[in-house]
Amino acid sequence: MYVKHLNRSYRITVTRFWLGCWLVLFCHLAMSETSTFVEVPKLERRVTDLTGTLNAEQSQALENKLAAFEAKKGSQIAVLIVPTTQPEDIAEFGIKVADLWHIGRKGVDDGMILIVAKNDRKLRLEVGYGLEGVIPDAIAKRIIAETITPYFKNGDFVGGVNAGVDQIIGLIGGEQLPAPKAAQQDSAQQDEGGFILLLLGGLFAGSVLSSLFGRTTGGLIAGIVSGAMAYLLLGFGIGAIIMGIVIFFLTSAHSTGGGGGWSNGGGYGGYYRGGGSSGGSWSGGGGGFGGGGSSGSW
């Protein structure tokens, strides 16, 4: 009876020992496999080449092309070239890249990512939510199969990447998307400048007309003309009416004997703001992705 109890305890101990060994081995293998996953590189430029496929001049030329398109259209396009994505499939790796980089504008979601796994001979296009209408999965697949991979099969990676980017730029360029912030700011600054010029011009004209026709009549003429020009040239509606009224009252209330009273030695210069800095690193604009796109190989 005692011997049976010892044998049973021994068997339980041995079984637990081997189960523990298997558990440790399984955890080690799982951690080892996880640690071999390719890390998504930090986003600092529109073109990230971890393989040296593009030389400095080619990389910069592509960077400049994508930067010019972003400035004109607002959409962001990024290119990532890695040696491999193994053990992950390139589609799974692409989702991680999209989630971490946030290419495209927030709320517009107009980002695109071209990923090339050179040693795996695979590539993928990740398409942001806002571009899935103009570049659905079927179109993304055709860009890969008909435009990019023919170059890759001939060893021309620079030509393939540029051809794919050019086609993507052409497709997005025809899409109705919100204007980039820089264009909106430029338009607002132009409107401000035009408003100020018309206001000063109207006041000057009112001063001259008041000396010819009297303050009331001169102010009325200056107000009507200035308001009409604000409407026709700047597209102001109520603003044109307000401008006309302001010029009329200021002109009619102003004494003609003040001489140069309307001059303002350049005090409006503060409205101008220069362009943004071109230096520093680049980052995504907060765009979202939902798995749209396509993968291919060569």
- Does 292 score more than 50 pLDDT? yes
Mean pLDDT of the chain: 76
Look up residue 263 and give its DSSP letter. Answer: -
Q: pTM of the predicted model, to two decimals? A: 0.59
Task: Convert the pLDDT of each residue in 255-264 to its tens digit.
Answer: 444 444 444 4
- Rounded-to-integer distance, Cα 84 and Cα 37, Å: 10
Buried b (16+ CB within 10 A) or exposed e, 167-203: bbbebbeeeebeebeeeeeeeeeeeeebbeebbeebb
Task: Convert the pLDDT of each residue in 73-114 to its tens digit.
Answer: 999 999 999 999 999 999 999 999 999 999 999 999 999 999
If we measure between CA atoms, which residue out of 104, 153, 156, 159 comes closest to residue 127?
Answer: 104
47-176+284-297 CATH fold? Diaminopimelate Epimerase; Chain A, domain 1 (3.10.310)
- Does 274 score more than 50 pLDDT? no
Mean pLDDT of 192-198: 62
- Rounded-to-integer distance, Cα 251 and Cα 203, Å: 7
**For the chain, domain boundaries:** 47-176+284-297, 194-252
φ, ψ (nearest 5 deg) of residue 124 = -150, 150
- Does 278 score more than 50 pLDDT? no
- Rounded-to-integer distance, Cα 45 and Cα 80, Å: 10
If we measure between CA atoms, which residue out of 265, 245, 246, 260 comes closest to residue 204?
Answer: 260
188 pLDDT band, cuts 50/70/90, is very low
Prior bond to 136 cis, omega within 30?
no
**What are the strands of the beta sheet with 122-128, ordered from one edge?**
47-49, 76-82, 111-117, 122-128, 289-297
Task: Convert the pLDDT of each residue in 105-138 to its tens digit.
Answer: 999 999 999 999 999 999 999 999 999 999 999 9
Where is average pLDDT lowest: 18-22, 148-152, 177-181, 274-278?
274-278
Task: Convert the pLDDT of each residue in 200-241 to its tens digit.
Answer: 665 666 566 666 666 677 566 766 766 666 555 555 556 556
**Burial category of 97 from C-beta neighbours within 10 Å (exposed 0-12, middle 13-18, buried 19 and up):** buried
- Rounded-to-integer distance, Cα 287 and Cα 76, Å: 9
Task: Convert the pLDDT of each residue in 9-66 to its tens digit.
Answer: 656 565 655 555 555 455 445 544 445 888 999 999 999 999 999 999 999 999 999 9
Which residues 6+ apart lie within 8 Å of 143 measured at CB? 125, 135, 164, 167, 168, 294
Could you tell me if 284 and 76 are in contact, meaning their C-beta atoms sit under 8 angstroms apart? yes
- Output the six-digit token pair for 44: 């600092």
- Rounded-to-integer distance, Cα 31 and Cα 71, Å: 44
- Rounded-to-integer distance, Cα 214 and Cα 251, Å: 10
